[in-house]
């Protein structure tokens, strides 16, 4: 497999916020802590050097319990060492891993841990997959695309998705053209979706040291209790976020998040609903549950696991319970993390390095051959269909299609006519200019017809080119955001190993992976 790389800006796929961050734009420096480089990682290590040993012990105890029964367990005890740190990515528990970029996130994280170990051999670095087990948006995780077909988990489900029963997915497993045993085992032999995700992630990536963390646990939540109480009584996150968001908006950036007065959910069986405060009384939306301040603080003290952070506080929770140096995220995640730095500062929690995951398009051998035959340019394929068609025609024609020289000649002639006419009657200038505009418009229409005629001459190649684009951008979306990794893994068991070799976690360009 060979690799070509594109500047992210040339793809037209990424928000300005992310691009300016990666370019090190001065105005954004107050919204993050450490720019991501191997050299700067030493500063992140020093920031996290005094991570609470009690939190390390809790983390090891919880992981030991959660991984019970799985083969080839990681050595969790390394996390007790003050010289051990994590690098983390997170995502929802999409069925069958969801879109391809979830795998890219994991590979980037593992590669980063290995790169850090090589640069700082005196320390240990553990790659972590943070499972968004408390998320309650079932629709977002309930489908995936495989070989042009969409598979969907049917039914209505409420509450934290990590607690759902994955055995309901048996009907989908039976529909798959090639039965992936790792998913059959994970989904049919576990009683919760979180346990199932841990199972298949361990089988796919356990050999590389990946640890999957399910933070929906009472002992982990107990370390988050001070934030829970502060949020219930002080609403400090709203104040900090609002101040930061105002600064970002003044610079022309959209934080992409909406803050609440209380950024916590009430979590129970089949229930995850917002907590609101009205006239001094705490209420759980869409339920009859109400609490006084004393009652809800008492509940938090006794059962912190019943409080679930929303997107505003989830990153803070992660950094409180993990000895974490870096968060690896997507093009929308990193900008919203940067809107949260004020919240981290308020709670005196070290802010991690923010690193974009690797971005990639995987091109099969057949598609590589087709592109070579058509002399297709990879950068061009990111353009819209109209531009792709037009540029291809102009680059591959043997005919002269532009009438620009004729337009320039008309301009020269009409300048002479204007000069001659105004000598006779100055009021004629407008009439001559209007005639020039009419003639230019006619030439423009003729040029479009000439190009259109040439498009018809090249229709066969254009049709093949657009077909190639549609395969690489299925559903008019980036391949990595649409296709499932099984599209490649089923036919090539070495697919993931190829990704490990191709990706550089600190090369912030778009990867074109060419199978040859």
Tens digit of pLDDT for each residue in 222-238? 999 999 999 999 999 99
Mean pLDDT, residues 215-222 taken together: 98
Our count of domains for the chain comes to 2
Mark whether 89 and 114 lie in a shared domain.
yes
Q: C-alpha distances in angstroms, 225 versus 312, 320, 433, 471?
A: 16, 11, 75, 49
Mark whether 439 and 339 lie in a shared domain.
no
Mean pLDDT, residues 160-173 taken together: 96
Q: What DSSP string runs through 480-501?
A: GGTB-THHHHTT-TTHHHHHHH
**490 Cβ contact list (under 8 Å, min separation 6):** 177, 178, 180
Q: What DSSP string runs through 285-306?
A: TTSS-EE-HHHHHHHHHH-GGG
pLDDT for residue 178 = 74
Helix (DSSP H) and strand (DSSP E) numbers for the chain: 23, 15
Mean pLDDT, residues 251-264 taken together: 94
In a domain, 484, yes or no: no
**Residues 101-112 pLDDT 10s:** 999 999 999 999
Closest CA to 41 of 350, 338, 323, 325: 325
- Average model confidence (pLDDT) across the chain: 92
Mark whether 12 and 74 lie in a shared domain.
yes
Closest CA to 244 of 119, 335, 163, 166: 335
End-to-end CA distance of the chain: 5
Mark whether 346 and 455 lie in a shared domain.
no
Name the strands in the sheet holding 84-91, side by side, starting at the edge strand that comes first in the sequence. Answer: 211-214, 124-131, 84-91, 324-329, 353-356
Mark whether 63 and 135 lie in a shared domain.
yes
**Residues 299-351 pLDDT 10s:** 999 999 999 999 999 999 999 999 999 999 999 999 999 999 999 999 999 99
Q: What does pTM read for this prediction? A: 0.90
In a domain, 157, yes or no: yes
pLDDT for residue 437 = 77
Q: Coil, strand or helix: which one is 326? A: strand
Mark whether 496 and 379 lie in a shared domain.
no
Q: Are 97 and 81 in contact (CB under 8 A)?
A: no
In a domain, 311, yes or no: no
Mark whether 79 and 193 lie in a shared domain.
yes
Q: C-alpha distances in angstroms, 176 versus 183, 188, 353?
A: 11, 15, 39
In a domain, 48, yes or no: yes
Closest CA to 431 of 417, 411, 416: 417
In a domain, 107, yes or no: yes
In a domain, 231, yes or no: no
Confidence of residue 401 (pLDDT cuts 50, 70, 90): very low
Question: Is pLDDT at 453 greater than 60 in this prediction?
Answer: no
Q: Coil, strand or helix: which one is 377? A: coil
Mark whether 453 and 509 lie in a shared domain.
no
Domain containing 410: what range?
Answer: 367-477
Mark whether 130 and 209 lie in a shared domain.
yes
Buried b (16+ CB within 10 A) or exposed e, 20-36: bbbeeeeebeebbbbeb
In a domain, 139, yes or no: yes
Mark whether 76 and 145 lie in a shared domain.
yes
The half-sphere exposure of 447 on its side-chain side, counting CA atoms within 13 A, is 16
CA dist 31 and 10 (Å) reads: 25
Mark whether 510 and 375 lie in a shared domain.
no
Q: Are 514 and 1 in contact (CB under 8 A)?
A: yes
In a domain, 229, yes or no: no
Mark whether 140 and 210 lie in a shared domain.
yes
Residue 88 region, left (φ>0) first, then alpha (ψ -120 to 50), else beta?
Answer: beta
**159 Cβ contact list (under 8 Å, min separation 6):** 136, 267, 268, 269, 270, 271, 272
Strand pairing category for 264-268 and 307-309: antiparallel
């Amino acid at each position: 497999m060979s690799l070509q790389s594109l500047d992210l800006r040339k793809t037209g796929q990424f928000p300005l916020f992310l691009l300016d961050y990666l370019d090190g734009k001065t105005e954004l420096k107050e919204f993050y802590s450490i720019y991501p480089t191997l050299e700067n990682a030493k500063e992140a290590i020093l920031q996290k050097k005094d991570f609470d040993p009690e939190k390390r012990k809790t983390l090891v105890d919880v992981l030991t319990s959660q991984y019970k029964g799985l083969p080839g367990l990681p050595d969790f005890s390394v996390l007790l060492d003050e010289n051990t740190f994590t690098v983390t990515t997170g995502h929802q528990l999409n069925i069958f891993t969801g879109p391809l970029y979830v795998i890219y996130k994991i590979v980037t994280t593992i590669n980063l841990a290995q790169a850090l170990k090589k640069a700082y051999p005196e320390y240990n670095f553990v790659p972590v997959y943070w499972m968004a087990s408390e998320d309650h948006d079932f629709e977002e995780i309930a489908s995936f695309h495989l070989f042009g077909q969409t598979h969907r988990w049917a039914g209505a489900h409420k509450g934290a998705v990590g607690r759902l029963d994955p055995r309901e997915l048996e009907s989908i497993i039976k529909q798959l053209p090639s039965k992936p045993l790792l998913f059959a085992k994970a989904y049919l032999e576990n009683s919760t979706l979180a346990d199932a995700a841990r199972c298949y992630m361990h089988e796919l990536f356990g050999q590389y040291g990946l640890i999957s963390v399910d933070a929906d646990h009472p002992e982990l939540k107990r370390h988050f209790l001070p934030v829970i109480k502060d949020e219930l009584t002080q609403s400090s996150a709203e104040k900090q976020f609002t101040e930061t968001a105002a600064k970002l908006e003044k610079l022309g950036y959209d934080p992409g998040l909406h803050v609440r007065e209380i950024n916590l959910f009430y979590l129970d069986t089949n229930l995850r609903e917002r907590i609101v405060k009205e006239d001094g009384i705490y209420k759980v939306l869409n339920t009859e549950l109400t609490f006084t301040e004393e009652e809800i603080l008492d509940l938090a003290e006794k059962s912190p696991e019943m409080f679930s952070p929303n997107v505003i506080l989830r990153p803070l929770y992660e950094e409180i319970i993990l000895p974490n140096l870096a968060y690896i995220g997507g093009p929308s995640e990193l900008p919203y993390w940067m809107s949260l730095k004020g919240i981290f500062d308020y709670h005196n929690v070290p802010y991690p390095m923010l690193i974009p995951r690797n971005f990639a398009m995987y091109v099969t051998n057949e598609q590589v051959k087709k592109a070579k035959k058509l002399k297709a340019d990879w950068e061009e394929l990111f353009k819209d269909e109209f531009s792709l068609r037009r540029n291809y025609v102009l680059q591959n024609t043997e005919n002269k299609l532009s009438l620009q020289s004729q337009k320039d000649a008309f301009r020269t002639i009409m300048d002479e006519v204007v000069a001659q006419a105004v000598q006779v009657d100055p009021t004629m200038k407008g009439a001559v200019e209007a005639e020039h505009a009419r003639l230019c418009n006619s030439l423009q229409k003729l040029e479009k017809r000439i190009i259109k005629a040439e498009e018809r001459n090249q229709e066969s190649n254009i049709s093949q080119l657009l077909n190639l684009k549609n395969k690489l951008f299925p559903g008019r979306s980036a391949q990595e955001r649409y296709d499932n990794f099984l599209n490649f893994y089923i036919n090539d068991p070495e697919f993931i190993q190829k990704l490990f070799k191709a990706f550089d976690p600190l090369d912030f360009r778009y990867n074109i992976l060419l199978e040859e």
